[in-house]
Chain A
Amino acid sequence: MEVIVQAHMPGLVARVVVNEGDKVAKGQEVAVINCMKTELSVTSAVDGTVKTILVKEWDEMEINSPMIVLET
């Protein structure tokens, strides 16, 4: 099943900390959003494997923008 990690806050993508193919655990940081100069951690809600990374550094995020597709 595919699970999409979404932005929980608007802002700019500061960095993506995983690569496609990486295994991630529930609660693990997968990306960081810079919102009003504060770095906010984006975490995975599930255990899974990174299938597709949809964003890159400096992309503009709105709330719920899709960021990363995970395969569970």
Chain B
Amino acid sequence: MSVIKKLLIANRGEIVVRVMKTCRKLGIDVVAVYSDPDKNLSYLKHADEAYHIGPANPIKSYLSIEAILAAMKKSGADAVHPGYGFLSENSLFAHAVVSAGATWVGPPPSVLAEIDSKCFCRRIATDARVPVVPGTVEITKNAEDIIRFASEHGYPLVLKLDKGGGGKGIEQIGEDGQAKDAFERMSRIGLMAFGHPESYIEKLIAAPRHIEVQFLADRAGNCVCLGERECSIQRRYQKIIEESPSPVVAKEDRETLFRHTANLVKAMGYQGAGTMEFLRSDDGSFYFMEVNARLQVEHPVSEFLTGIDIVEEQLKIASGEKLDIRQEDISFNGYSIEARVYAEDPVSFCPSPGTISRLRLPAADGKHLRVDHAIEEGCAVPPFYDPLLAKVISWGESRPEAIEHLRNALAEFQIEGIKTTIPVNILILDSREYRTGDLHTGFLDHLYSKAVSEDGSIKPLWPNM
């Protein structure tokens, strides 16, 4: 329990720049780390110190506990912020940081180790009287388990990895005949991608909305919710547009979601910033899905609405400070929307690494527009890491105003040399369904069936725009 003086950010890309910004405000020194292909990233020059941690292969650099701990010791950093992805929810890494005498900016290692299992979280939620997606809370042992579950509850159902994430490890099953293959495929993917083959069963919720609650929890057991985020627009189970407030969450729903979140936080013994993810079925029921035990990509949306710097709160909580915000002090102002710009083909979503030959970023005033990124003209976009290039986040007093600001910014945003998903973002914002708030996780497939020509090009939905 001590004030952080020198923070190592164990990550790459825009999130390093984001965390660095708060460190500057608080007078905390920043230690950055980099792999071979990242050695020329411009933010490394702005960090107080930067350490080389290994080759392109993330297993030997950004995912190497050993390499990052060595940089931590060499630099004398007294704390580690893991960002998102990579080692951010890895309890062994958190434990190693704490054991080395440094402060871990995240939930305690013992909590991370437990909530890593979705079945564990589903049991905890059930005990805390928080509804979960109907299904099993025990590991599926074989295909017969699936067939037995289906004979009672029917198809379609989904097989999910107990310790999966990032949209990987979800298999839909429609009949008995698919159970064996799906079970074997899931075990193989789980073992290969996460080192854990275990899976469990959920009933398929048709055309659900994905709604999550951002919260902060301190060591003393205080918990505040920073509102919900609607993240229903996804490609391959990965988010592409997020917004707050959700067009469908009424005041009573919000109170219920906040109550569920506080109960889950308490039951888990969670400390730090985090997110509880819920699914909303079309009959309006909410089901707890999973906890994201990290700072999330889409956190700026909640920061715009509440005026709270979530990274600053993370650092304060990690230092042992009590939350000085009470729920009744938090107001949710206006509307905020985030568009993720990925280095991908806008139709096939095939990755598009390369070099950014020309770049024109939208003008961010910090009031109506914020652009979080770590790119510049001439910089390489390596094929080894996540395709996220930038996040464009808008704020408006009304939802149409926020949409307008975001659309203008995306139209202004020019990247040459690689393909990006900017045309997809614009297509979504221009669609009638988006403007009326008719969102669900199958939104993009539905939109593409109307907007993509047979030759694979995107035709504008409104030719006049």
Contact = CB atoms under 8 A, between A and B. Distances in A.
Interface of A: 9-12, 35-38, 40, 58, 60
Contacts of B57: 12, 58, 60
Contacts of A37: 166, 385-387
B353 A36 contact: yes
Size class of the B contact interface (CB-based, 8 Å): 10 to 19
A58 B351 contact: no
A51 B113 CA distance: 45
Say whether chain A's binding surface is mostly helix, strand, loop, or mixed. strand
A10 B59 contact: no
Contacts of A11: 351, 353, 383-384
The 7 closest A-B pairs by CB, nearest first: A36-B351, A10-B383, A36-B387, A11-B383, A35-B351, A35-B383, A58-B57
Interface in B345-402: 350-351, 353, 383-387
B353 A58 contact: no
Contacts of A9: 351, 353, 383
A12 to B, nearest CB: 6
B461 interface: no
A12 B384 contact: yes
Interface centre among A37, A40, A58 (most CB of B within 10 A): A37
B59 A36 contact: no
Interface in B176-227: none
A40 B350 CA distance: 9
A10 B56 contact: no
A53 B201 CA distance: 39
A63 to B, nearest CB: 9
Given A36-B351, A36-B353, A38-B351, A58 B384 contact: no
A12 B384 CA distance: 7
B341 to A, nearest CB: 13
Contacts of A40: 350-351
Contacts of A60: 55-57, 384
Given A36-B387, A60-B56, 12 more contacts: A9-B353, A10-B353, A10-B383, A12-B383, A12-B384, A35-B351, A36-B351, A36-B384, A37-B385, A37-B386, A38-B351, A58-B59
